[in-house]
Amino acid sequence: MVALGGGTMPTALVTGASAGLGRALAAALVSRQWTVVGDGRDAAALSAAAEEIGFTAIPGDVADPRHRASLAGACPSLDLLVNNASSLGVSPLPLLGSYPLAELENVYRVNVFAPLALTQLLLPALTASRGTLIDISSDAAVEPYEGWGGYGSAKAALDQLTAVLGAENPDLAVYAVDPGDLRTAMHQRAFPGEDISDRPLPSSVVPGFLRLLDERPPSGRYRAADLLVTA
């Protein structure tokens, strides 16, 4: 975990912090005395989460360059960046043969280009702190699930970007993490009308992410399920 030099609390930026995994990670970091900045597209939900948990809310869309600039301006020093905000795309999930290309472009804009662009802005701050970058991946990045070609291929692209960033920045800890199927609003959109209450809550995988911060293993791709085995 990041050392608390001179009594200064480490700082994290978590995108998509208004709900789901992002909110759970923000809550865990605040409980560990981190200063957390969180963003989200739903300003009301983000404000409610920030007030309850105790983090700084900056509402907006990570695909918007002006919003990314605002996030970077709020984090002159940074120890952890979690690129969690993402877009599922069209629901119900369409086959690739009929996927609307304009919608697919937006999936890539949110899931690939936005996290890379935000990372580029914050790379100097992360480098200065020898910090940690976590990009949220998916099992759909490596498994050919029918209907998941849009979201899955975007996450596969993010995985490769993450791997190269790790190779290019050896002083940083750079991770792509597959959290597994979770009980979130986005996952529900992937299965409209179905009961997903059997999926675990996002908070259940947070100890795996904290293990990455505590143990700082080599940069690479990790599954939360594997990290939880001995977390």
Instruction: Please identify every residue annotated as catalytic.
Output: 151
CA nearest to 122, candidates 86, 163, 77: 77
HEC string of 124-141 equals HHHHHHCCEEEEECCHHH
Structure tokens at 187: 């996952």
Cβ 13 vs Cβ 195: under 8 Å: no
Number of neighbouring beta carbons within 10 Å of residue 48: 15
Structure tokens at 138: 């998916």
Reported as type and span, the H/E element at residue 222 is: strand 220-223
Angle at 209 between CA 88 and CA 157, to 5 degrees: 40
How long a stretch of residues is the chain? 231
Cβ 184 vs Cβ 202: under 8 Å: yes
Number of neighbouring beta carbons within 10 Å of residue 146: 8
- Work out whether the CA dihedral 26, 40, 38, 152 comes out positive or negative: positive
Cβ 112 vs Cβ 158: under 8 Å: yes
